[in-house]
Amino acid sequence: MTLYQLLTGHLPFGEIEPYQTQRYRRPPKPPSRLRPDVPIWLDHIVLKAVAFDKKLRFETAEEFELALQRGASRPLSSHGATPLLVRDPTLLWKVALAVSVLFNALLVYWLLFLPR
């Protein structure tokens, strides 16, 4: 968290006060989006360090230090893209609502304007 804040000037999951509780639904933005001069290899290291899933994070501080030391010479493998339903779990309900509203609008049009 500290490295992310030093690189970008922001906290990875948003600015919150100590007394606030917030659910983190989206992964943090890569530091290179906030500061274009940050190299991609450092993006991968920082995002791996602040990952939601504990399995994706560094296991030890030594592993994190080694990744920073080797830097761009041996880049980390990037993690796969997050599925859409994981990023926005309500998307299915939003799509179902839109289809339902459209279907109901067509039914109202059919009942009011088509000849009997």
| Average pLDDT along the chain, 116 residues, taken 10 residues at a time | 75 65 68 82 85 84 86 64 78 93 95 83
What is the pLDDT, as a whole number, of residue 41?
Answer: 84
Residue 75 confidence (pLDDT): 58
Tokens linked to 102: 């459209």
CA distance 66 to 71: 8
The reported pLDDT for the residue numbered 34 is 81
**Cβ pair 78, 40 in contact under 8 A:** no
Backbone angles phi, psi at 90, to 5 degrees: -85, 0
Q: What is the residue extent of each domain of the chain? A: 2-81, 83-116
Q: What is the pTM of this model?
A: 0.52
Closest CA to 86 of 51, 112, 110, 60: 51
